[in-house]
Amino acid sequence: MKKRAVIFALAGIVLLSLAFLAGHYFWPETAAEYRGTVVVKEEIPLSDSLFIQGLEMNDKELICATGRYGSSMIGILNEGKFNAKKNLPSDEFGEGITVAKDELFQLTWREGLCYVRDPQTFEVIRTHRYEGEGWGICYDGTNLIQSDGTAKLKYRAPGTFEVISEHTVVDRDGNPVVKLNELEFANGHIYANIWQTKDIVKIDPKTFKIVKVYTTDFPADISHENSNATLNGIAHIKGNRFYLTGKLWNAYYKVELKD
Ligand SMILES: [Ca+2]
Q: What's the confidence (pLDDT) of residue 30? A: 57
Ligand 1 centroid distance, CA of 5 (Å): 48
Q: What is the pLDDT of residue 179?
A: 96
Centre of ligand 1 to C-alpha 65, Å, is 10
Reduce the secondary structure of the chain to three states and give it as a string: CCHHHHHHHHHHHHHHHHHHHHCCCCHHHHCHHHECEEEEEEEEECCCCCCEEEEEEECCEEEEEECCCCCCEEEEEECCEEEEEEECCCCCCEEEEEEECCEEEEEECCCCEEEEECCCCCCEEEEEECCCCCCCEEECCCCEEEECCCCEEEEECCCCCCEEEEEECECCCCCECCCEEEEEEECCEEEEEECCCCEEEEECCCCCEEEEEEECCCCCCCCCCCCCCCEEEEEEEECCEEEEEECCCCEEEEEEEEC
Using the mean position of ligand 1's atoms as its centre, give its distance from the Cα of residue 165 in Å. 20
pTM check: above 0.85? yes
The β-bridge relationship of strands 52-58 and 61-66 is antiparallel
pLDDT of 33: 84
Distances (CA, A) of 180 to 15, 203, 210: 25, 11, 12
32-258: CATH topology: Neuraminidase (2.120.10)
Q: Which of 135, 190, 144 is nearest to 163 (CA)?
A: 144
Q: Ligand 1 center to residue 14 CA distance, Å?
A: 37
For residue 18, report the distance from its CA to the centre of ligand 1, in Å. Answer: 32
- What separation in Å is there between the alpha carbon of 11 and the centre of ligand 1? 41
Ligand 1 centroid to Cα of residue 66, in Å, is 12
pLDDT at 15: 46
Cα of 42 vs centre of ligand 1, distance in Å, is: 18
Neighbours of 68 (CB within 10 A): 17
Give the distance (Å) from ligand 1 centre to CA of residue 54: 6
Please give the distance, rounded to the nearest whole angstrom, from the Cα atom of residue 29 to the centre of ligand 1: 26
Distance from the alpha carbon of residue 184 to the mean position of ligand 1, in angstroms: 4
How far, in Å, from the CA of 144 to the mean position of ligand 1?
12
What is the rounded distance in angstroms from the CA atom of residue 82 to the CA atom of residue 103? 21
- For 32, left (φ over 0), alpha (ψ -120 to 50), or beta? alpha
pLDDT at 29: 56
Alpha-carbon distance of 191 to 255, in angstroms, equals: 14
Query: In angstroms, what is the span from residue 63 Cα to ligand 1's centroid?
Result: 9
Q: How many angstroms is it from 111 CA to the middle of ligand 1?
A: 20
Ligand 1 center to residue 51 CA distance, Å? 14
Residue 7 Cα to ligand 1 midpoint, Å, equals: 46
Per-residue pLDDT of the chain (259 residues; tens, 9 = 90+): 556 665 555 655 544 444 444 445 555 555 788 899 999 999 999 988 999 999 999 989 999 999 999 999 999 999 999 999 999 999 999 999 999 999 999 999 999 999 999 999 999 999 999 999 999 999 999 999 999 999 999 999 999 999 999 999 999 889 999 999 999 999 999 999 999 999 999 999 999 999 999 999 999 999 999 999 999 999 999 999 999 999 999 999 999 999 9
The alpha carbon of 13 and the centre of ligand 1 are apart by a number of angstroms equal to: 37
Q: How far is the CA of 90 from the centre of ligand 1 (A)?
A: 23
